Chain A
Amino acid sequence: MLLEKTIIERWKLDLDYCLPGLLDAIQKQHSLTFLIGGCVFDLYLMQQWIESFSRRTGDVDFTVEYLGDSSVYHIVTSELLCAGYLKDHCHPYRFHPPKQRGNYAYVDVLAFTTDLPLEANTRLLMRVGDNFNFEGMSFAKHHPLHLCANIYLPNPLALIYLKMQSYFHAPDRRKKDFADLIELILRLSAKSEILCELRNILNSFSNHSVRRVLLQMCKAIEYDHTGPWDLDDVREQIKERHLLDVFTADEIRQHFEFFRIKVLE
């Protein structure tokens, strides 16, 4: 599963227009860096893996892998400051470009680790609270999509899993993530072109708990169960996205059944 070169180049140009020097700053260090957040959907759209997506983001999120050497993170942030970016007063990981233009207004530079003992230091690096969650990044690293140099983005299944974990750990604050993954599954099923590849990615991942958790979530929505994956909990978010104009309740269940059959079982 690969990103098309022309799409990568087009996206890089767009990014450079909005946030000049950002990609260069990231490439100054060699740690694995992931593009995450809402702009990943923009790339999925450009790849035509999904036909549309209701939510548009105004910012870009990158997360740098922390393996014990904090310089990898500081190199990126320092380069941004040298390029004229301004650090946000409220969010220490947020940087605003010298001039606002284009679709993306600012960048959040985050860090992640898949090493449990390093989690506390990673949070310290970004100066975020203890409830900042890194679950799902192991699966994201399993079959990432290459953008350029050391920069990757999660494949759609990994993104679904990341958003599941984000919502699961903070359901009151992260309803947006649950709504995102619902819409992504619906859109992927409606197009259905890459489901086979997602299945292969999952089959090649040795940790079976990912499949188990994804299956639980899908079945809970299919059978309209109460519990952590109750659609009613994000009814407002779904309505705001006008998803119910496109998918009836039965169609939502049917799309989740289709996704489960094609990818997870």
Chain B
Amino acid sequence: MQMIDQENWIATDYGFFYAKEKIKFIRLTQRLFLKDFVQTIKALHGDQLVGVICSSLEEGDLKLLTKLKISYLIPDRELKIFSASSSAPTPPKTCDSPYTNPIKIISPTGLEIVDVILKLDHAERQLSASKIASAYQLSRSKLSIIMTAFQAKTIDELRTKIFALPLDWWPKAFDIAICKRKMTPFRTKNTRRYILNHSLSAEQFQTKVDELQSQHYQVALGGLSYLKVLHQLNTSEFDLLINLNHLPQVLEYFNLRPATNRDVENIVYITPAISELECEKLETKKSLNLFPNIKNEKSNVRKINMLRYLWGLNYHEARIDELRHSLLENYFYALGKDDH
């Protein structure tokens, strides 16, 4: 960048440090992140003066930054410095933002709503919140709470703001203790370990789950099984989330027996849900084929709310954490690519 000199500008891992005014210029990869960045300046940096480096800032962004007296650098275009002598920037009122209270969206109904909002097509985004809630049988009150938390006036604005959340916000929000109420993760202290008497492929396992569901038994794929059906994981383990009252039928149908620590293959983990399976909101209200490249993606798998499943992947294994991150990325990319 021709606008900076080596004497005053020190390259860092976050961007540059402007030594003359002691301002940390933080590089933003997208202007979409600007508003959230602005909201968290105080929390993350305290009294340290902070600026923004971003090549795609637009006029509205510059007005905001100027209003807040936040320095900015558009490489090879513009540099604006607000020194310490300028009046201190006041971050906008955050009041109950998803940053301070991720429970607003990390809950059974919250994730159900977020999943639908992200999947809305252009025409649907122009509809009112009431119409969307009615069309997809979403909780109107919860949708209203989420819109307030994001300070979104329209569905379209809400969708944009949800997309603007940094990708690494999601796993951190998933892991916050308060977000663990009301939903059952796929591995709990009550998880039982069984072994299949005859090995099954992922598709055969899925078929058996579908058959049990068609007989109105409360059984659902667990996180590992879901990853296997998506061909993201190659392991001989499966898991299920069930209503404990239906355990006898599940044991019978899958021909399971209890596993010991010497059994390592064809393991099935069964986790009892904390309530009725319907309350877990495992299914999406708007099915989409998110992964057209994956072969044999069965229609029942499309009914799964992927965000809810990604929340439940609490296996604390490095390979699963990586997959969770990768699938989150793919999820947001698949749903947002038509916007660009």
Q: Which of B248, B251, B258 contacts A190 (CB 8 A)?
A: B258
With a cutoff of 8 Å between Cβ atoms, the chain B residues found around residue A191 in the complex are 257
How many angstroms from the CA of A16 to the CA of B25 in the assembled complex?
93
Query: A190–B260 contact, CB under 8 A?
Result: yes
Main secondary structure of the interface of B (DSSP, over half): mixed
Known: A251-B193, A265-B248. A258 touches B257 (CB 8 A): yes
Q: Which of B192, B258, B261 contacts A189 (CB 8 A)?
A: B258
With a cutoff of 8 Å between Cβ atoms, the chain A residues found around residue B295 in the complex are none
How many angstroms from the CA of A262 to the CA of B252 in the assembled complex?
9
How many angstroms from the CA of A126 to the CA of B8 in the assembled complex?
105
Query: A261–B247 contact, CB under 8 A?
Result: yes
Q: Which of B248, B257, B260 contacts A246 (CB 8 A)?
A: B260
How many angstroms from the CA of A190 to the CA of B263 in the assembled complex?
11
Would you list which residues of chain A between 189 and 206 have a CB under 8 Å from chain B?
189-192
User: A199: shortest Cβ distance to chain B, in Å?
Assistant: 11
With a cutoff of 8 Å between Cβ atoms, the chain B residues found around residue A258 in the complex are 251, 257-258
User: B270: shortest Cβ distance to chain A, in Å?
Assistant: 10
Query: A251–B251 contact, CB under 8 A?
Result: no
A163 part of interface (Cβ distance < 8 Å): no
Known: A246-B262, A261-B247, A265-B248. A190 touches B192 (CB 8 A): no
Query: B251–A254 contact, CB under 8 A?
Result: no
Q: Which of B247, B258, B261, B262 contacts A255 (CB 8 A)?
A: B258
Most chain A CB atoms below 10 A, which of B247, B248, B257, B258: B258
How many angstroms from the CA of A254 to the CA of B191 in the assembled complex?
10
A209 part of interface (Cβ distance < 8 Å): no
With a cutoff of 8 Å between Cβ atoms, the chain B residues found around residue A246 in the complex are 260-262
Query: B248–A254 contact, CB under 8 A?
Result: no
Chain A contributes a number of interface residues (CB within 8 A of B) equal to 15
Query: B260–A251 contact, CB under 8 A?
Result: yes
Q: Which of A190, A254, A261, A265 contacts B193 (CB 8 A)?
A: A254
How many angstroms from the CA of A265 to the CA of B197 in the assembled complex?
22
B interface footprint on A223-255 (CB within 8 Å = 1, 0 otherwise): 000000000000000000000001110010011
How many angstroms from the CA of A28 to the CA of B4 in the assembled complex?
111
Would you list which residues of chain B between 259 and 277 have a CB under 8 Å from chain A?
259-262
Would you list which residues of chain B between 154 and 196 have a CB under 8 Å from chain A?
192-193
Q: Which of B192, B197, B261 contacts A248 (CB 8 A)?
A: B261
Known: A261-B248, A262-B251. A190 touches B257 (CB 8 A): yes
With a cutoff of 8 Å between Cβ atoms, the chain A residues found around residue B248 in the complex are 261-262, 265
Query: B261–A251 contact, CB under 8 A?
Result: yes
A interface footprint on B55-75 (CB within 8 Å = 1, 0 otherwise): 000000000000000000000
How many angstroms from the CA of A47 to the CA of B248 in the assembled complex?
26
User: A83: shortest Cβ distance to chain B, in Å?
Assistant: 45
B interface footprint on A172-191 (CB within 8 Å = 1, 0 otherwise): 00000000000000000111
User: B251: shortest Cβ distance to chain A, in Å?
Assistant: 6
With a cutoff of 8 Å between Cβ atoms, the chain A residues found around residue B192 in the complex are 254, 257
User: B333: shortest Cβ distance to chain A, in Å?
Assistant: 40
Q: Which residue of A lies closest to B248 (CB)?
A: A261
User: A254: shortest Cβ distance to chain B, in Å?
Assistant: 5
With a cutoff of 8 Å between Cβ atoms, the chain A residues found around residue B258 in the complex are 189-190, 192, 251, 254-255, 258
User: B267: shortest Cβ distance to chain A, in Å?
Assistant: 12
How many angstroms from the CA of A112 to the CA of B8 in the assembled complex?
101
Known: A191-B257, A251-B193. A261 touches B262 (CB 8 A): no
With a cutoff of 8 Å between Cβ atoms, the chain A residues found around residue B261 in the complex are 246-248, 251
Would you list which residues of chain B between 191 and 209 have a CB under 8 Å from chain A?
192-193, 197
List 5 tightest A-B contacts by C-beta distance, closest first: A192-B257, A255-B258, A261-B248, A258-B258, A254-B258
Interface residues of B (CB under 8 A from A): 192-193, 197, 247-248, 251, 257-262
12 other A-B residue contacts (CB within 8 Å) besides A246-B261, A251-B261, A262-B251: A189-B257, A190-B258, A192-B197, A192-B258, A247-B260, A247-B261, A251-B258, A251-B260, A255-B258, A258-B257, A261-B247, A261-B248
Interface residues of A (CB under 8 A from B): 189-192, 246-248, 251, 254-255, 257-258, 261-262, 265
Q: List 25 A-B contacts (CB under 8 A).
A: A189-B257, A189-B258, A190-B257, A190-B260, A192-B257, A192-B258, A246-B260, A246-B262, A247-B260, A247-B261, A248-B261, A251-B258, A251-B260, A251-B261, A254-B193, A254-B258, A255-B258, A257-B192, A258-B251, A258-B257, A258-B258, A261-B251, A262-B248, A262-B251, A265-B248
